[in-house]
Structure 1
Amino acid sequence: MTTPTPVPTTGHLTTPDGTRLAYRDQAGQGGQAGQGDQGSRSSGPSRGAPLLLLHGLAGHMGEWEALLPPLLSDGHRIVAYDARGHGSSTRKPKDMSRAAAVQDALTVIRALDLAPVTLIGQSLGGHTALLTAASHPALIHSLVLIEAGPGGPNPTLPTEIAAWLDKGEHPAFDGVDHVDRVDRATMLAAIVELATTAYWPAWERVTCSTLLVRGAQGTMPDQEVGEMLARSVRSPSAGPSAGPSTELTTIEGAGHDVHLDQPERLYAALRAFLMP
């Protein structure tokens, strides 16, 4: 008999600056998702750390749909949310800074009692996950960065992103009027700091175990990946003979949107990392 997929809890959380974040909380087999009251929940005996999924620019939490069944079957509690300015969250918040994005992740982690949590982020969501792990290590169990790193600055990024948004070629836009999906000015505000700032000091403060995932046809420069591996640090709890805390895997047949291009291969990589 097939075990029924647990029904997710959905709702909104409010951040300190008043931004509303739409989220979905789903328990793995044997676990129990919390109820919708912010800050009050119970979690069941799912295996391993809870997973918090962070989508990329102009995306939404539904992008992770193909990965949910196998991860839930492994017993994980999984929470995803629409980043500010995206999906069913506040569409035009006043603050789209990197600091605000980190505060959003912290709001979700604390309100839903997820710590210690594994952060899984793609592209801009991965960058948010990196900054969150760097600034609040006590809340983070481990980190998965999908086509995301600390590199920069990139002065041409706003022009590139504007052209990409205008084409509406993101796979998440399939079958959807992308003009209704996101606000162009809000999306550009979300990446303005990446045009002028590199985040290597933050990367060097990440001490949890990290999986770096590249698409074989992705956009991460080889130099950035090599430098991330060279600058990765050992977990404070690791013994003297332990290897680097950062692992690298490349997913064949995938571009920048690894989770959409090759969800089955990505799941295999995640399972090997999360349940060794």
Structure 2
Amino acid sequence: MSHVTTSDGTRIAYRDHPRPGAPRTALLLHGLAGHMGEWDALIPRLCRSGFRVVSYDARAHGASTRRPPDVTRAAYVEDAATLIGELALGPVTLVGQSLGGHTAMLLASARPELVAALVLVEAGPAGPSPDVPARIGGWLDSWPTPFRSLAEAEGFLGHAAWASGLEERADGWHPRFDRDRMVESLAELAENAYWREWSSLTCPTLVVQGENGTMRPTEAADMRELRPDTRVRVVPGAGHDVHLEEPEQLADAIEEFTRTVGHDYDSNAR
């Protein structure tokens, strides 16, 4: 694990999975209250597909600065841009889930020169969503922390990857984030929609939905109406955490997408 430091002093923890000679780089962005380890099942497939892969803990998450001075959408976007610049990655394929997908979308809109292609997993322009901070706050409040064991945590959270993001202390296993920073991270999403940013995108884009996910019922269709070249893949049986529940199907979708968008993608990725 390594770190980069952003302009506001926030340290961002990341892991680089180099592949010498790889023509493409994938930057992976996890969702709210998550961590970079959620991508561990997907990374080997992407590496075998010819990607150099970089994953990272978002600010206020995991091994990155736990209480950064800023958790606005712009700050999250700047972190991704800083990684691309500091590691000389770009232009990259951005793969983001949930809040990480939203960050990826905003980066592709604000800094198109950094992005060769975009994969949004259970993420889109949505909004406004005034109930989201209270709903997510209530969910976080329901966690019976500290968990007495990782097995107990996995049973409650529903997946080993979520449990592996916890830290062990003397009294048990705790989240590696603060509840208030998670809720603050959603403040702008509660008040705004981001269809203008979506409409401005120019890079090839794949939207991956779980059949039982949480995207709004017409969101993907509305996205395609504004950008008809958008690819959409629905993963049968999956919920919001497609990357955890069906990593092989997600990898198949990404491989097919990056293969079929053709020469233009290859040129942008170099």
TM-score under structure 2 normalisation?
0.86
Cα separation, 2, equivalents of 1:167 and 1:13? 33
Q: Pairwise mapping of residues 168-183 of structure 1 onto structure 2 (< 5 A)?
A: 168=143, 169=157, 171=159, 172-174=161-163, 176=166, 179-183=174-178
CA shift, 1:69, in A, is 1.1
Q: Pairwise mapping of residues 20-59 of structure 1 onto structure 2 (< 5 A)?
A: 20-28=11-19, 31=20, 45-47=21-23, 49-59=24-34
Q: Relative to 1, partners in 2 of residues 1:22 and 1:170: Cα closer, same or farther, differing over 3 Å?
A: farther
Cα separation, 2, equivalents of 1:209 and 1:75? 18
Residue in structure 2 matched with residue 226 of structure 1 by the alignment = 221
Residue in structure 1 matched with residue 66 of structure 2 by the alignment = 91
CA shift, 1:269, in A, is 0.6
Report the secondary structure of 1:50's partner residue.
Answer: strand
Letter of the 1:247 counterpart: R
Deviations 1:153-186 (A, max 9, x none): 0110111101121234364432646743210001
Q: Pairwise mapping of residues 132-171 of structure 1 onto structure 2 (< 5 A)?
A: 132-168=107-143, 169=157, 171=159
TM-score under structure 1 normalisation?
0.84
Cα separation, 1, equivalents of 2:162 and 2:44? 22
Question: What CA RMSD, in Å, does the superposition of the two structures yield over aligned residues?
Answer: 1.3
Q: Percent identity?
A: 51
Residue in structure 1 matched with residue 259 of structure 2 by the alignment = 275
- Among 99, 105, 108, which residue is 2:83 paired with? 108
Q: Does 1:185 align with 2:180?
A: yes
- Work out whether residues 207 and 245 of structure 1, in 8 Å CA contact, stay in contact via their aligned partners in 2: no
Q: Which moved more, 1:172-181 or 1:135-144?
A: 172-181
Residue in structure 1 matched with residue 198 of structure 2 by the alignment = 203
CA shift, 1:270, in A, is 0.8
Cα separation, 2, equivalents of 1:245 and 1:207? 10
Structure having the higher helix fraction is: 2
Report the secondary structure of 1:221's partner residue.
Answer: coil
- Among 10, 35, 39, which residue is 1:19 paired with? 10
CA shift, 1:125, in A, is 0.1
Cα separation, 1, equivalents of 2:191 and 2:47? 39
Report the secondary structure of 1:153's partner residue.
Answer: coil
The gaps in structure 2 that reach 5 residues or longer are: 144-156, 168-172, 261-270
CA shift, 1:55, in A, is 0.2
CA shift, 1:224, in A, is 1.5
- Work out whether residues 27 and 75 of structure 1, in 8 Å CA contact, stay in contact via their aligned partners in 2: no
